[in-house]
Amino acid sequence: MGQTKQIRLAQIAKKDADALITRLHYSHKTINNAFLAVGVFIGGRPEGAMTFGPSMDKSNILGLVRDTAWNGFLELNRLAFSAALPRNSESRALSIALRMIKKYYPHIEWVISFADGCQCGGATIYRASGVTLTGLKLNKSLLRLPDGSVTHKMTQVTGKNRVAHFAKTGGSWSGQGTPLDGYQMRCIYFLNLEARARLVPQEIPYAEIDRRGARMHRGIARGKQAMADDQSAQRRGSGDRHAPV
């Protein structure tokens, strides 16, 4: 474990977590409906943050694990660490944060997160934390807008943006923008082993990420040919062989 033992975690105010995320996360964007914020400290200095909250598409996510209560799961929607934290801090901090949730929020049975394989890594920290990979698909949700910024299509079709979006698209739920090249991965960490037995989609081995060329490093996809093969298969109508994200 080495230097990662030096890190400490504590619940912090959301505004403080948002300030860290805005500075450190590659998107520089926060999540409005996140309500649980955890700070990551080293030497008494805050050098990272994680935020948790309900999923934007909660009604559909709920069905991934049978018989889950409406308030029975959370989404890890932001994780941002500075270079001042030791190597492998993400995996250790995530494991500690999940244990904190299990202790202080016993009604939470599982935590979901979506790893972005379009702009950053390939779910490495989730693999090291014992998280179950349940979805792996070519990206159709992260969109690059004409001004160069990146957004998720759900931000266009929910909340205050919905009316304006539907006016532009004639009622279409499709996002407006160009999908980024790459994959999105859906990962679930089970705080309750009984809930693990109620998982609906089939678990996917992490080796499938490499087999399909789904890794990303500093914005550059690894395994371009595997990605091209998947794109060709989707155009032929075979789609993703695994459960849809």
Mean pLDDT by 10 residues, the chain (245 residues): 84 97 87 95 96 92 96 94 91 93 96 69 65 81 61 56 59 59 82 95 88 56 46 42 27
Tell the residue number behind the tokens 């304006």, with chain if given.
Answer: 164
pTM above the 0.75 mark? no
Query: Which residues lie below 8 Å from residue 88, measured CB to CB, with a gap of 6+?
Result: 1, 2, 4, 128
C-alpha R_g of the chain: 18
Can you give the pLDDT at residue 131? 87
Can you give the pLDDT at residue 240? 31
Structure tokens that stand for 179 in this block? 């999908």
At residue 16, the 3 state secondary structure works out as helix
Fold of 2-138+182-235: Aminopeptidase (3.40.630)
Distance CA 155, CA 165 (A): 10
Helices vs. strands in the chain: H and E counts, helices first: 9, 12
**CA within 13 Å, CB half, 137:** 18
Tell me, what DSSP letter sits at residue 95? Answer: H
At residue 185, the 3 state secondary structure works out as strand
* Domain ranges, ordered by start, for the chain: 2-138+182-235, 140-179
3-state helix, strand, coil in the chain (%, to 5): 35, 25, 40
Can you give the pLDDT at residue 219? 41
Q: Is 83 within 8 Å of 1 (Cβ atoms)? A: no
Can you give the pLDDT at residue 128? 67
Can you give the pLDDT at residue 130? 77
